Amino acid sequence: MNKLTEQIDDYLRYSQIERGLSQNTIAAYQQDLQEFLTFVKAEQLPGWPLEAVEIDAFLAKERDLGKANSSISRLVSTLRRFYQWLVRQQLIALDPMSQIDAPKREKRMSLALTEAEVSRLLEQPDVNTDLGLRDRALLELLYATGMRVSEAISLQLGDVHADLRLIKVLGKGSKERLIPVSDLALEWVKKYLPVREKQLLKSGKNSDYLFLNSRGGQLTRQAVWQKIKKYCGQAGIDKDVTPHTLRHSFATHLLEHGADLRVVQEILGHTDISTTQIYTNLTQKHILDVYQKTHPRV
């Protein structure tokens, strides 16, 4: 089985170096392939399954563990790419994944928060504490810019151009973009900077990252997600909270207030405008709600 582990490692190196995939994607691939390897070991197979029925058995076992269709789809996608690589490396002759269909993904998107809910959420961190002040600055920046959580935790001090009211963001595919940012969000970031210096002095570390954890290291995506969920709970917000909650809310509120779809696309860093158009469904629902509540003859 050491040989199979080495093949996973080789594939992950290829994905990172040759394909330039992000650390989050590499981590997801690694998790999926480790689960697959665990199955191969448990079934005492001599190598990677070469029959579609064996791979189907693995997917069925994952479903039995309660995994959603979206998770199964990701597994299928990971295995499809991995097997294609195995064929190209001449480690196997035929690709059994060509006979495997991914389950239909549920078209599901987390609900955006209302403007009132966002206000309540942003007020939850205790700004009289160092970590609370950091969290307030982070949440204000996420909502002011619509950037991804992964982009926010990768921000460096030099990326914030307060004089121009712009922030440089390194997005998917290592594409840079400039995002406008509000004076209010910049003010909270400014208030946080002395706390950041204190964190570095206390930890004895040196870091260029804007947002730091209590040990002076880079914040993780999971930590930010947990914070957002915690503060949503404190604010009495009973909605499907995801790492993209504030990003969804940002885009929806801009469109509700008349922003051009192309402008929102540029700010969010979407290469395809159809990705941005999903937010128009939410704004159309908002328009209908307003109509039904305000028209005297409805």
Secondary structure class of 33 (helix, strand, coil): helix
Q: Which two tokens stand for residue 76?
A: 């299928």
* Per-residue model confidence (pLDDT) at position 273: 80
* Per-residue model confidence (pLDDT) at position 257: 87
Catalytic residue selected from 81, 120, 270, 286: 270
260-285: per-residue pLDDT in tens? 888 888 899 888 787 787 777 666 66
Catalytic residue selected from 134, 247, 248, 253: 247
State what percent of residues in the chain have pLDDT above 90. Answer: 55
The size of the chain, in residues, is 298
Q: How far is CA 44 from CA 16, 39, 63, 65, 94, in A?
A: 30, 8, 21, 20, 21
Please give the full DSSP string across 124-180, using - where no structure is assigned: -S-TTSHHHHHHHHHHHHHHHH---HHHHHT-BGGGEETTTTEEEEE-GGG-EEEEE
Based on the residue annotation, tell me whether 244 is a catalytic residue of this protein.
yes
> What is the pTM for the complete model shown?
0.62
How far is residue 81's CA from residue 134's CA, in Å, rounded to a whole number? 39
18 pLDDT tier (thresholds 50, 70, 90): confident
Based on the residue annotation, tell me whether 136 is a catalytic residue of this protein.
no
* Per-residue model confidence (pLDDT) at position 279: 75
* Per-residue model confidence (pLDDT) at position 63: 85
Q: Which two tokens stand for residue 13?
A: 């190196």
- Which conformational region is residue 208 in: left (phi greater than 0), alpha (psi within -120 to 50 degrees), or beta? alpha
* Per-residue model confidence (pLDDT) at position 232: 93
Q: Where in the chain is the domain with CATH 1.10.443.10?
A: 115-294
* Per-residue model confidence (pLDDT) at position 286: 59
Secondary structure class of 44 (helix, strand, coil): coil
Is the pLDDT confidence value at 298 over 60? no
In this structure, the number of other CB atoms found within 10 A of the CB of residue 18 comes to 9
Contact 209, 154 (CB under 8 A): yes
How far is residue 168's CA from residue 106's CA, in Å, rounded to a whole number? 34
Secondary structure class of 108 (helix, strand, coil): coil
* Per-residue model confidence (pLDDT) at position 291: 65
259 pLDDT tier (thresholds 50, 70, 90): confident
Based on the residue annotation, tell me whether 88 is a catalytic residue of this protein.
no
Based on the residue annotation, tell me whether 297 is a catalytic residue of this protein.
no
How far is residue 252's CA from residue 114's CA, in Å, rounded to a whole number? 9
Q: Where in the chain is the domain with CATH 1.10.150.130?
A: 2-99
Query: Sign of torsion, CA 173 177 181 186?
Result: positive
287 pLDDT tier (thresholds 50, 70, 90): low
Catalytic residue selected from 136, 244, 248, 253: 244
Based on the residue annotation, tell me whether 270 is a catalytic residue of this protein.
yes
Is the pLDDT confidence value at 126 over 90? yes
Catalytic residue selected from 172, 191, 230, 286: 172
Q: Which CATH architecture has domain 115-294?
A: Orthogonal Bundle (1.10)
Catalytic residue selected from 148, 227, 248, 253: 148
* CATH fold of 2-99: DNA polymerase; domain 1 (1.10.150)
179-230: per-residue pLDDT in tens? 999 999 999 999 999 999 998 988 888 999 999 998 999 999 889 999 999 9
